[in-house]
Structure 1
Amino acid sequence: MIDNIINVIKNSQHVLLAAHENPDGDAMGSLVGMANICKFFNVAYTVLLERIPDEYTFLLNDICVSQAFSGNYDTFISLDCGDVERLGNLKFYFEKAESTINIDHHETNNHFGKYNYVQKDASSTSELIFNIVDQAAILLTQNMCEALFTGIVTDTGGFMHSCTQSSTHAAAAKLLQIPFDFSTIYYRLIHQKTENTVHLQSIAARRLTKLCSGKVFLSYIDDADLEAHHASRDEASGIVSYIKNIKGCEVAVFIYPSNTPGAYKMSLRSNAPHDVAKLASSFGGGGHVRAAGATIWGTLSEVIHKVEQSLNF
């Protein structure tokens, strides 16, 4: 499959690259990694991002990025998306492309591309992009290494999650052969928190509820909390991991406002053998067995009630 993907890219006139809505580190890392592959083969490309998360802007130096595209293109590459709907408004470009490539590692991926490189046991989509780079003998650049390292570290929780394999460490080791400030990137991704995030964490801690005989820890924040601390939704998104770190927590559930009025995001983390992807799928979401999420419509109290009623761990 990697050979097919490389051949499609080499023979493309213009490639559009996109990832899921509200891109995380793996989405951004795989986007920039693939952009560098296009550069290596001298193929025109555009990375489509409706919104750029502030914490990943450092990856986008010398990368062609746009919110929309009005020119001619023939290939669309979807990265880190479990299904085409996760592309959001960018799904329009996918449907118009002559060739479509789907590169992903989510358990719920439904192989929606013409060409699909999907490995559900991979640590990250960024590791899959590294596999392409490695197999095709593509020259590693500093920007590419920073991006792929970012993606791998993000989705493995700093090489802690069960998705981490020997191949993941081998990929990171090869990336580190090219000099870049990996320690600063690691610190920013894993340890650094904004003051706003710390305030939101304290609110979430006060609202903790234990369910399912103490296996599940659930908490939430609302729009008023974000406004009171002038915090962004991005600053709230990682609080689920803060909850998951509590001793005795088997499943962490965190609910916070979505960018879409009238809806809330549900983030989930778990220990084995608890499958949170199944719970997320019941709400139209998806993800991995140990990390998943969904968008749920309703008032905050309605959403919390729906979630509590669905828990069966």
Structure 2
Amino acid sequence: MINRSDVLQAKRRISGYVRHTPLLRGGTAAAPLWLKCEFMQHTGVFKARGAFNRLLAARERGELDPGVGVVAASGGNAGLANAYAAAALGVPATVFVPESAPRLKVERLLGYGATVRQVGTEYADAFAAATQFVEQSGALFCHAYDQLEIAAGAGTVAEEILRDEPGIDTIIVAVGGGGLYAGVAAAAEGRARIVAVEPSTIPTLHAALAAGHPVDVAVSGVAADSLGARQVGGIAFAMASRVPPASVLVDDAAIVAARSRLWSDYRIPAEYGAAAAFAALTSGAYVPREGEQVAVIVCGANTDPCTLEEGPGAGITPGVRLN
């Protein structure tokens, strides 16, 4: 089980290794809105926080062998974060990604000095190959989302949000495997409500809450490269069982439109998965109460900039009006 104490410990540990990212004010006086610019984090994604927490904690315990380093399975972003953290700490990284991983992410992995192995068509295939590699090599395994240190590191995003704006009532976060959601929910417990947003084509948390336990879901849609876990993690499900979030689904059209709005209104180059949380507002899937102060985590920007002008927002009824 993850608690705020785990997040605070992570915050102390990773201080100096990660950026305190900006909280951008938007919305209106009647409907305040903040955008947590986590796409400005090292590697362009929040996952650097969990990667550093995992590696630094392992080094403290003497578990990080500089000869074999770390291994991760990823749709791309977790691999980038772990490759970057490993390079910063001077240890090798091997990253398994599906063959469908965006070329941009594979090229950046290589740029960080990681050994990249492309296996299968989904994250689950890369995960199976990575676990086998760990058994053979003895490398430190860094899960993309379902390790306490990974989730606790991610939760430091919420600590920054609520430190910068203590009056925020609600934090909206995208869910794939659930590491970011679990950490944010633990950090904000008793202080802010959590809205957990998923693509309707990959409803891992939504399906788990309906079934009463994590279940496999099909993986498809525009956000599959970053939110494409087949099943929500155990840490995230336990957190959702303890403090149920508002669970919201958005379709691909809403995600594409929200991504376009982030670019046209704010010049934020969000990837599709990172736009999913904002899509809850722009599509009207989540409508804040009058006076509710809402923060949206824009969690990643590892995307092809040539695609940012696609998907006009016309036809999507906004839940909030932007400046």
Give yes or no for TM over 0.5: no
The structure whose RCO (Cα within 8 Å, separation 6+) is larger is 2
Higher CA-based Rg: 1
Identify the TM-score tier after normalising by the shorter chain: 0.3 to 0.5
- What is the TM-score of this pair, normalised by structure 1? 0.32
